[in-house]
Amino acid sequence: MSNNTTERGSFTTKLGVIAATVGAAVGLGNIWKFPYTAGVNGGGAFIIVYLIFVLFLGLPLIMSEFFIGRNTGQNPRGAFRTLSKIKSWQAFGLLCFICPILILSFYSVVAGWTAEYLWLSVSGDLTGKSAQELSSLFQGFSQDPVRPIIWMILFLILTISVSLGGIKNGIERVSNILMPVLFLILLILAGRSLLLEGAAEGLRFMFQPDFSKITSKVILDAMGQAFFSLSVGMGALITYASYFKKETNLPQTAVIVAILDTTVAILAGIIIFPAVFTFGISPAQGPELVFITLPNVFNQMTGGQLWSILFFFLLAVAALTSTISMSEIVVTYMMEEYKLSRKKILLGLFVVCSILGSLCSLSLGVMNDIRILGRDIFSLVDFTASNILMTLGGASIVIFVGWFVNKEIIYQEMLQGSKMKRSFFAMYYYTVKYIAPVGLITILLSQFGLI
Ligand code: TRP
């Protein structure tokens, strides 16, 4: 693998494709963000809206990004240039470049938290503490001006070192082995959580929707969460699919990714909500929810410390496979569009993300007074990326694929490596052409207060 040219590798095996794509999709979004966003938004009603978005927007978007990426074999900007002569579509490329940088910045902060919790698990500092003590422990840590930033920077260094090794060696090997292990651990933890006293209440909170709770904020948050979790709307999957082979079955891979990603999110909910109600924690606690809930569960388990170590290790790995793919998107983009070397790009990315990430981290503690549009910096960066840029990106992708690309080209690409039925294709196509754009534009307009 050469580092300084734009020479492209590709994924080697079918399982490798799925494992790596799932590795990019499954991450802190499923295990940290989904439960707390569901909690803040009242549980069941949010989850129903979320599932509708996964099916009607998420899945068609995954397929569309796969189509664009594999058909052109290029980064998002190059891909749009190849498929359409209209120059303004390339502006989309810029979005695909800014979005992962913003996400990587606040994501690394939370990834750093998982590293701290892994450390605390190993040292035994989480063992034997009450729910109250665990809560103040997290507050103290996350508001500290130094410690979370050190972890964040270490995490960024790790990400960038793996990225330096190139796509095949780094991502594929790690995620092939560890993703299934993570899944297994989640199943075991879900089983344990369901034995807790608060299990029934937790499940009711998740699965008994109170439709009066659906507000425009719930809808927006559910969509932002669906996009974030599936990694759609920012060209990530265009970049990934540009490394797919012609034999890769696009519709099937898309369905598998959507199902696995959603399963992991729901499993995380099944682990967390029973514990929330058992230990008297508020489900609407916010970003700290996972970090103050799970150590309580581990404390109740035989061999809890070992489970805790295993869990935070795997969560850190899940975060790592996601941060690697974010950095890979930026690298592919800059290498192909600006002919810069991998090393230079990664160095630049490190500097930018360390600064922005530090600001995000500090905004939870000493810089909490600084509010922009009513938000602290951390949640502003998250909101800009997940709710504004990804919605814009998603709208661009469906409008582009539905209205600016010849339908037959899309169908033929989908048929490579699959036996997609015409009727399934028709359903996909009409969703992309009509339903998704109308839905996304409505949401965007309401976001800006225009309707
Ligand atoms: N889907 C990832 C998660 O749930 C986060 C993510 C968003 C992401 N956009 C991405 C990961 C782009 C890789 C590439 O944690």
User: 408 CA distance to ligand 1 centroid (A)?
Assistant: 30
| Distances from the Cα of 168 to the Cα of 46, 164, 282, 366, angstroms | 37, 11, 43, 41
In the Cβ-directed half-sphere of 11, how many Cα atoms lie within 13 Å? 26
In 3D space, the residue among 108, 124, 126, 105 whose CA is nearest the CA of residue 28 turns out to be 108
Q: Give the Cα separation of 122 and 61 in Å (integer).
A: 41
Q: What is the pLDDT of residue 6?
A: 45
Q: What is the pLDDT of residue 4?
A: 41
Tens digit of pLDDT at every position of the chain (451 positions): 334 444 576 776 777 677 778 888 999 999 999 999 999 999 999 999 999 999 999 999 999 999 999 999 999 999 999 998 888 888 888 898 899 999 999 999 999 999 999 999 999 999 989 989 999 999 999 999 999 999 999 999 999 988 887 654 655 666 677 778 889 999 999 999 999 999 999 999 999 999 998 998 899 899 999 999 999 999 999 998 998 999 999 999 999 999 999 999 999 999 999 999 999 899 999 899 999 999 998 998 888 899 899 899 989 988 988 998 899 889 989 998 999 999 999 999 999 999 999 999 999 999 999 999 889 999 999 999 998 999 999 999 999 999 999 999 999 999 999 998 999 999 999 999 999 999 999 988 887 777 7
Residue 375 φ then ψ, to 5°: -120, 150
User: 228 CA distance to ligand 1 centroid (A)?
Assistant: 6
Residue 372 φ then ψ, to 5°: -120, 125
Whole-prediction pTM value?
Answer: 0.93
Burial class (CB in 10 A: 0-12, 13-18, 19+), 327: buried
User: 317 CA distance to ligand 1 centroid (A)?
Assistant: 13
Cβ(320)–Cβ(111) below 8 Å? yes
In the Cβ-directed half-sphere of 96, how many Cα atoms lie within 13 Å? 37
Torsion of CA 44, 50, 55, 58, to 10 degrees: -160
Atom of ligand 1 nearest to the CA of 99: 9
Q: What is the pLDDT of residue 168?
A: 47
Q: Is the CB of 225 under 6 A from ligand 1?
A: no
User: 31 CA distance to ligand 1 centroid (A)?
Assistant: 12
Q: Is the CB of 29 under 6 A from ligand 1?
A: yes
Q: What is the pLDDT of residue 411?
A: 95
User: 1 CA distance to ligand 1 centroid (A)?
Assistant: 25
Q: What is the pLDDT of residue 153?
A: 98
Burial class (CB in 10 A: 0-12, 13-18, 19+), 86: exposed
Q: What is the pLDDT of residue 2?
A: 39
Structure tokens at 391: 């919605």
User: 29 CA distance to ligand 1 centroid (A)?
Assistant: 7
Instruction: Collect all residues with Cβ–Cβ distance below 8 Å to 397 and sequence separation of at least 6.
Output: 61, 64, 65, 68, 92, 232, 233
- Where b means 16+ CB within 10 Å and e means fewer, 252-273 reads ebbeebbebbbebbbbbbbbbb
Q: What is the pLDDT of residue 103?
A: 97
Q: Is the CB of 193 under 6 A from ligand 1?
A: no
Structure tokens at 450: 């225009």
In 3D space, the residue among 332, 382, 318, 335 whose CA is nearest the CA of residue 356 turns out to be 382
Instruction: Collect all residues with Cβ–Cβ distance below 8 Å to 368 and sequence separation of at least 6.
Output: 143, 376
Q: What is the pLDDT of residue 5?
A: 41
In 3D space, the residue among 210, 205, 187, 226 whose CA is nearest the CA of residue 275 turns out to be 205
| Distances from the Cα of 398 to the Cα of 1, 93, 266, angstroms | 34, 15, 27
Cβ(244)–Cβ(167) below 8 Å? no
Q: What is the pLDDT of residue 180?
A: 86
- Residue with CA closest to ligand 1 atom 8: 231
Q: What is the pLDDT of residue 100?
A: 95
Q: Is the CB of 103 under 6 A from ligand 1?
A: yes
| Per-residue pLDDT tens over the stretch 162-206 | 888 765 465 566 667 777 888 999 999 999 999 999 999 999 999
Q: What is the pLDDT of residue 12?
A: 67
Alpha carbon 425 to its chain centroid, in Å, reads 26
Alpha carbon 32 to its chain centroid, in Å, reads 10
Q: Is the CB of 321 under 6 A from ligand 1?
A: no
